[in-house]
Structure 1
């Protein structure tokens, strides 16, 4: 980033003073000072704040009247730090609890989903419960490490389990119950660090002592994300909806769509009939959030997925054409926090348990269809960028991610058609 330099692992802010304004700074050509951090992310946040302040200052100095002599102006500049310190002394330092409410209000204004707001609230209230309420700038790295030390020992659901009611954090830890999982630990630490980043950016806190606290996972991500084997897939498509006419159309179509698109379950459950359309002569599923009851995880999730010929042969297009304008699966119930996918996800888990034994179904959910498709693309040697697009992942390459346009449906159709699963005759 501009105006950032590094010396002995410590970041410094350095900026050239415009030549016509240098007399306001005792003829100094450059302003340079330590940011007192070795963390790159925190340095960028601090530098952004200082850049905004200097932009404003340089702009204001442009309008100091010519009648003011450099001596007078220099006196004004010299006095300004003292005035600033006096102003800071008068300003009351906010407490952690107050900052949490400011953060939650800001996220509500930003129209963050209710589910995400609840996640932020629960994580930050746990922080408050562990570290106690005090001035936001009084938190140190020792406080952060103490928080992490206690967090990793806590069991899940401490607010809902009667066993922990009325107990302190130390008393709950003393029970020695099985602690929360690494994913929850790291997600909590991520929320807390993001919260302090927001405070620094909005000039409520001077630093983020909670950065880089994540717990290292003992297994690779690829091992954690279990995929369905060929045997699993064959068994899954022998469940009741594929033997007799299903009670609900989504019982039949949702698992098939998951297998041949790799889409998230809520992306499929919230589809409308006009999301199924031909683009350049190719039948596609348009994954978008054009309606109030449609939500996507990221911007990259907006995409068009060609419909596999297997789905067309099984009658998916005919099924959609038979429907009035509206939801593709109109009997699904919408929940503000979870969309349409909650009940189908539970239903699928019940069906999975009927055909896969305990070892076969270990860590396998509907989301495993997504990992299965990703693994297929990898094993087939599909290039990263089109595979990433089809799965709704952010393309991390600058050329494709920032400047590239959407892929043509014909090209994507060739990729989708490479998926070949033996599911019998559902």
Structure 2
């Protein structure tokens, strides 16, 4: 289901727009004896199977359907006027004939008709121009464009997901129709949302997923619930600033108290865990594609090998790695580097500090990463990991991250903390810090801002270091026994 509550995905995977026929239009149809009077809703195909395209097409279709409703209302209303006794020219007893008013839709409609008499000519009623009030979903898109342009797609998705559930609960309405009760109903439903509902209940709306999930199915954490409430509250504050008559208190809801111990921190991999990961047959050589647990001569050298290796020896974020273009692997002053950038429209970064050069660790060079990139270039690939299918937001990180989590489950590497491949980011920072690297250099490698003290406490921060200094800092990432295990074998794109 999309952002609008009238966007639905059918079994064939195509999204459709479903619009209710306005009650006043159905009544006018019935009064004229039209067969369409029984039609209560209209379905239109967007022709799209991905949600982003369906949203764009759905907005257009909704506008077209509103226009069609208005045109039919005006036509039937004109017919009602022409059929009234007011068109009779001969004198009659003076009496008033009132034409029922045509209620307004959320799109321009015919203005209300005035009572007329048999003695007076019926004036040709010209429609009064009226402006359709914007729906909450439309205001939300304007808010995202104004306040959150350029944020990472995951954050954007979180904001859209928040409003999607709110609209499911309260409806997509003009702003002045919302009350505190609507927001309170949203707050009651939010903690019931299943964790990763989109993955476990594909094709279901959020409310449908809430109903379908078994009672013991994991729900989103209180932290996520409170984050969603904060998202709605921030939207309400923007509405108060930009829309007359709206109070931000309408969307300002009390946060939930988190139980003690619920907060989970991301813990970096230990040396022993890194040794098990980089030393397993899937990295050093296995029997076959189907049997990746038995040692052998079959070597996996596609994204499943290189994405974890890059994470382990650069400390880069998963999305930064999977969105690398071939031209982002560069040599500067004789030092091979990753250029973490967002110059392409399909690239995004968490912050301005994330834009940086990261020298390649010797372990990556020994494993043949530059040869792999050159092979990708010769194949005509634009992306370093073009073999990874992007998701609906154009990101390759979800598939790569899921594949690594499967490997962790196979190796029975869990731990008390949360996180999958992101644990390599923490592990890399731990190793650089333990080896005595300055915070400024660590921050420059991983893309943090030294001004953020909370990040400093967890990772280490700052940037702007000389490239040779950063290369020495990266080389401090040493996983003891696990350091060179992943470098065994060739560097081909696939076996």
TM normalised by structure 1 equals 0.62
Tell me the distance in 2 between the aligned counterparts of 1:285 and 1:114: 21
Aligned residue in 1 for 2:477: 419
Cα separation, 2, equivalents of 1:197 and 1:315: 52
Aligned to 2:428: 373
Note if contact 1:115-1:338 (Cα within 8 Å) is conserved in structure 2. no
> How big is the shift at 1:417?
1.5
Match of 2:393 among 325, 331, 337: 337
Are the counterparts in 1 of residues 222 and 256 from structure 2 also a CA contact under 8 Å? yes
**Distance in 2 (alpha carbons) for counterparts of 1:164 and 1:318:** 45
Q: Does the Cα contact within 8 Å between 1:154 and 1:172 map onto a contact in 2?
A: no
Deviations 1:210-255 (A, max 9, x none): 5584445456899521321211111111132322443443232221
* Equivalent in 276, 282, 304 of residue 240 of structure 1: 282
Structure 2 gap ranges (5+): 1-129, 286-296, 457-461, 487-495
Say if 2:404 is the partner of 1:348: yes
Preserved CA contact (<8 Å) 1:285 1:307:
yes
Shift of 1:130: 4.5
Once residues 214 and 308 of structure 2 are traced to their aligned partners in structure 1, the CA distance between those partners, rounded to angstroms, is 44
Query: Hey, what does 1:308 align to over in structure 2?
Result: 361
**Gap regions ≥5 residues in structure 1:** 1-91
Q: Are positions 1:226 and 2:281 aligned together?
A: no
Correspondent of 2:136 among 88, 95, 99: 99
1:284 equivalent in alignment to 2:325: no
Matched, 1:152 2:208: no
The CA deviation at 1:341 is 2.2
Cα shift at 1:286: 0.7
Distance 1:163 1:317 in 2: 43
Alignment check: 8 A CA contact 2:447 2:463 kept: no
In the alignment, which residue of structure 2 is the partner of 1:260? 313
**Structure 1 residue aligned with 2:228:** 188
Q: 1:261 to 1:152 in 2, by over 3 A?
A: same
SS across alignment from 1:224: coil
RMSD over aligned Cα atoms: 4.3
Greater Rg by CA: 2
Aligned-partner SS, 1:342: helix
Q: Distance in 2 between matches of 1:104 and 1:258?
A: 34
Alignment of 1:128-147 (within 5 A): 128-130=167-169, 136=175, 147=186
Distance 1:168 1:330 in 2: 32
TM (normalized to structure 2)?
0.55
- How far apart, in 2, do the equivalents of 1:173 and 1:215 lie? 22
Instruction: Identify the structure with bigger relative contact order (alpha carbons < 8 Å, sequence gap 6+).
Output: 1
* Aligned pairs, number: 328
